Structure 1
């Protein structure tokens, strides 16, 4: 991964978390003990900030930095191309989406993140069902998790289990259940959904433009895929 790309991803993550907390750049700077100009430069992605500075920013936002590995760009491009060539209905079936949603029952939700992107035809990798759930419905979500033999993701130990299931308890909102992995974005009000239909079933999904604003990783992959499509189109046009 190039330095500029990593700087861009850090910038997107900081902006996303700051917006989520409804903080101005100056307010975040005060919490982190930095200048407003330093926060602005990091959010622009002008250059890669130091690790201690990034840790201070995320700590001020109540978050912590975690390193994850991903395939090389060439492998990632090949994976996106492969997903683009597969039917959406086939990928929905492999995800086990219907079983998960049937088990959620009457719990109000909106599909978000990569799951919402998949249902709208975007070739993003999806390894969990992602939903938005209102905080007032947290007890109903907890009841589902108990019935589904849920185990919560323990980021400290990098394993499932050892944490209380309730979303109000500290920890990431990720659970492994008998129906697969569920990730929840807890919110005061559900995002306004659009209705998408596949194989005779209707799904309430967050619009793709909102997914890109709320999920920096999904936004990065979608931008990458679009750039490749544009480059392919230009090459085809030049050849013609």
Structure 2
């Protein structure tokens, strides 16, 4: 069954509460009286759970659901408005961007995706460093991941780990590391970049106009931001 936004939100909530309590999927499943495979499918958003199953999962973690309604994607609009009011340097620090970049010195890369949009002033949500990386540097990147406790996103189980690190292996190009989450766009040659400067540091980023052509996730956020600007007369 394809993932839905609500299924993804519910799965994220279950996974977040489980992580806060340092429970494994097996431990939560046993407490809730369901299988570990069912927990994995719920957390990944690939299974729409019944209300009874959700209540059992949350009760096993001593919490309960609160249901509200809001205009479609109002949460995203509110997030964009909040980010627009904050300095870029503060958001860079919150992401730990400089800390991660200081350690990515084993191979060339450039900043792309929503991270590049952030550095060019767009108030779009960013939860990971997004880079463009050449296929020819894949082995060096894999070595870096191994040295920095990298784990690759496992879409089947809805969490990091349990799959091969190498970008050549099937799966989403998304890894957790000791320095934060990294998402990679693999390419034959690095895209053209511009330089932006914040807090005394220069960053090589893919320009916004190129992001809108090549990065669907960033493009959707940028279009939403611009639509809100037009609506407000900014």
* TM-score, with structure 2 as normaliser: 0.68
Is the partner of 1:228 in helix, strand or coil? helix
Give the corresponding residue for 2:231: 231
Q: Deviations over 1:31-83 (max 9, x none)?
A: xxxxxxxxxxxxxxxxxxxxxxxxxxxxxxxxxxx87xxx9422221111100
Contact 2:114–2:130, Cα closer than 8 Å, also in 1: yes
Q: Deviations over 1:212-233 (max 9, x none)?
A: 1122222122112112111211
Q: Does 1:73 align with 2:76?
A: no
CA RMSD of aligned residues (A): 1.8
Give the corresponding residue for 1:115: 115
Q: Does 1:128 align with 2:122?
A: no
Give the corresponding residue for 2:195: 195
Contact 2:112–2:130, Cα closer than 8 Å, also in 1: yes
Is the partner of 1:130 in helix, strand or coil? strand
The count of residues paired between Structure 1 and Structure 2 equals: 167
Question: How far 1:194 sits from its partner (Å)?
Answer: 0.5
Structure 1 segments of 4+ aligned residues over 3 angstroms from their partners:
none
Is the partner of 1:103 in helix, strand or coil? coil
Give the corresponding residue for 1:179: 179
Distance in 1 separating the partners of 2:143 and 2:133:
13
Give the corresponding residue for 1:215: 215
Distance in 1 separating the partners of 2:151 and 2:217:
24
Distance in 2 separating the partners of 1:139 and 1:157:
25
Question: Tell me, which stretches of 5 or more residues in structure 1 are unaligned?
Answer: 1-5, 7-65, 235-240
Give the corresponding residue for 2:142: 142
Contact 2:111–2:206, Cα closer than 8 Å, also in 1: yes
Q: Does 1:102 align with 2:111?
A: no
Question: How far 1:168 sits from its partner (Å)?
Answer: 1.1
Is the partner of 1:183 in helix, strand or coil? strand
Question: Tell me, which stretches of 5 or more residues in structure 2 are unaligned?
Answer: 6-44, 47-70
Distance in 2 separating the partners of 1:157 and 1:222:
30
Give the corresponding residue for 2:161: 161
Question: How far 1:141 sits from its partner (Å)?
Answer: 0.5
The structure carrying a bigger helix percent of its residues is: 1
